Structure 1
Amino acid sequence: MGFHEIRFPLRVALGTSGGPERRTDIVSLSNGRETRNQRWARARRRYDAGSGIRSIEDLYAVLTFFEARAGRLHGFRFRDPVDFRSCPPGRTPQAGDQTLGTGDGARLRFSLRKTYGDAGGATQREITKPVAGSVLVAVDGRPVPAAEVSCDPATGMLEFAAGKAPAAGAIITAGFEFDVPVRFDTDRIDVDLAQFQAGRIPTIPLIEIRP
């Protein structure tokens, strides 16, 4: 198996349905109460690309993409139609959007991540497929020149240049766009043109690949 650094057809992705899935065990007790246990520390995203197909051309583009990935064998990039920035929809990413960590005067590498939270709690998501050229970085609110920091679009690892490690106690933040690493969750796509022209679209499941 492998991963192809290529994005799923964008015009189809914009109409795709799906989102995060979590796994929670719930046990109902005899007194009417219940206990809940979180089995997954992080959500895993699932999508149905079939809901984004609007024409025969879209269908052919997905079939071609499916064949190039050999079905479930190879992963690829997918742009979530709602959640693909370090900031809320409709805004432009800024260098202060997400906190990545605190400097110690020697550490050069930091992982991109996104925090989802409110007054009741928060969870963090590791970002491993940032969009190349979209990452903006700041240290204690001051933008870092591109010559002093780089980000690997294949891993989401941020690295400061030698001698440019953030000072002890300095807060590192970043803004970015990103894709979701996914694969097809099927080795078969059923196409019936008569049904398709009547409004019935095929189901094409995608599932997130966890790092």
Structure 2
Amino acid sequence: MAFLESPRFPDNIAFGATVGPAYMTVVTPVYSGREARAIAWTQSRCNFEVGRRLMSVADTAAIDAFFRVVKGRAYGFRIKDWTDYSVTTATGFLAATATPGVFQLSKGYASGALTETRSITKPVVGTVQLYRNAAPVSAGGGAGQYALDTTTGLVTFVADASQNMTGNTPGSVTVLHFGSALTGAAVGKYVGVSGVSGSLGTTLNGKLWQITAVGTNQITIAANTTGNTGSGGAAKLYPQGTDVLTWSGQFDVPVRFDIDEMKKQIVERSGSNGELLVDWGSVPIIEIRV
């Protein structure tokens, strides 16, 4: 569905919102008085209420215009949750995805020994700083640098090291051959593989494989490729599970209006100039998955 990246919902109106996380739990009572509870959502969805208050003519015009351009419930948009819009390196971390070298910006919440991870999909442009083992990481195209998609919160790292394959030896484990050594390769590390042709590529491409042996211009990975054939491709080393990847910055919440009809009413005049004050009924906004 259409999503409006800019502008975000007016900050001064969002500032006065009633907001909080919501879950969906299926509760099934039984005759004994006990109950079973099933967690339907692994992450919360925030609910906002920006109405139920008096607004100035200027704020009224702003929210009215915004509602019209997003066409009620039709378009998603960004909103700032003034109660929770930033992370520090103590709460911000990068979660690995199924794609080698790609990580999701995330925020951790903890209470005692219990934790929850929140995926951050709408970071604020220009506020994000990444860290690897407490050292700042630069955005760019150089080895170990990264690119950030501010529409998804996905971070794509440039490989620390990469080598094109000159050959391979399939089997219960797989040997990858190179023209020169893969810098940084070591037993226990994980290597990403891409661009291999044939059935061998079907098995290896787009996945991380643990290195079990390192030889002269070759590595052995824990991949069973018995009977596979293929050629070409490259092996790449990305940040490892032993690396501590954190971030700091700000983020928005992806939301939509939860109504298609907006109602407002002039209730009084205020001040010496007789400025109109407008009463807005319920204006619910709900977080969406993107």
TM-score with structure 1 setting the length: 0.85
Instruction: Work out the CA distance in 1 between the residues paired with 2:113 and 2:154.
Output: 29
8 Å CA contact 2:55–2:279 kept in 1: the answer is no
Farther off after superposition, 192-201 or 17-26: 192-201
1:29, distance to aligned residue in structure 2 (A): 3.9
Q: Structure 2: where are the runs of 5+ without partners?
A: 162-237, 270-275
Match 2:255 to one of 182, 188, 192 = 182
Partner of 1:43: 44
Match 1:142 to one of 135, 142, 166 = 135
Partner of 1:2: 2
Alignment of 1:92-131 (within 5 A): 93=88, 95=89, 97-101=91-95, 107-131=100-124
- Is 1:79–2:80 an aligned residue pair? yes
1:169, distance to aligned residue in structure 2 (A): 2.2
Q: Which amino acid aligns with 2:248?
A: G
1:199, distance to aligned residue in structure 2 (A): 7.6
The CA deviation string for residues 157-200 of structure 1, in whole angstroms up to 9 with x for no partner, is: 11223446324621211112100000111110011213796884
Aligned in 2, Cα 1:168/1:185: closer, same or farther, shift over 3 Å?
closer
Partner of 1:20: 21
Q: Which amino acid aligns with 2:262?
A: I
Farther off after superposition, 200-209 or 49-58: 49-58
Is the partner of 1:64 in helix, strand or coil?
helix
The CA deviation string for residues 98-136 of structure 1, in whole angstroms up to 9 with x for no partner, is: 232479xx9321111111112241111111100011111
Aligned in 2, Cα 1:76/1:168: closer, same or farther, shift over 3 Å?
closer
Instruction: Work out the CA distance in 2 between the residues paired with 1:15 and 1:177.
Output: 19
8 Å CA contact 1:24–1:38 kept in 2: the answer is yes
**Larger proportion of strand:** 2
Aligned in 2, Cα 1:64/1:199: closer, same or farther, shift over 3 Å?
closer
Identity over the aligned pairs, expressed in percent? 33
1:138, distance to aligned residue in structure 2 (A): 1.0
Partner of 1:205: 284
1:54, distance to aligned residue in structure 2 (A): 3.0
**Larger proportion of helix:** 1
Q: Which amino acid aligns with 2:62?
A: A
Aligned in 2, Cα 1:59/1:126: closer, same or farther, shift over 3 Å?
same
8 Å CA contact 1:102–1:172 kept in 2: the answer is no
Instruction: Work out the CA distance in 2 between the residues paired with 1:149 and 1:83.
Output: 26
Q: Which amino acid aligns with 1:166?
A: P
8 Å CA contact 2:94–2:105 kept in 1: the answer is yes
Following TM superposition, the consecutive aligned residue runs of length 4 or more in structure 1 with deviations greater than 4 angstroms are 195-200
Aligned in 2, Cα 1:52/1:140: closer, same or farther, shift over 3 Å?
farther
Is the partner of 1:112 in helix, strand or coil?
strand
Instruction: Work out the CA distance in 1 between the residues paired with 2:115 and 2:240.
Output: 27
Q: Structure 1: where are the runs of 5+ without partners?
A: 87-92
Q: Which amino acid aligns with 1:67?
A: R
Instruction: Work out the CA distance in 1 between the residues paired with 2:81 and 2:18.
Output: 9
Instruction: Work out the CA distance in 1 between the residues paired with 2:268 and 2:31.
Output: 49
Q: Which amino acid aligns with 1:151?
A: L
Instruction: Work out the CA distance in 1 between the residues paired with 2:39 and 2:71.
Output: 34
Instruction: Work out the CA distance in 2 between the residues paired with 1:19 and 1:198.
Output: 27
Partner of 2:151: 154
Structure with the greater alpha carbon radius of gyration: 2
Cα RMSD over matched residues?
2.5
Partner of 1:89: none
Q: Which amino acid aligns with 1:107?
A: P
Instruction: Work out the CA distance in 2 between the residues paired with 1:199 and 1:73.
Output: 25
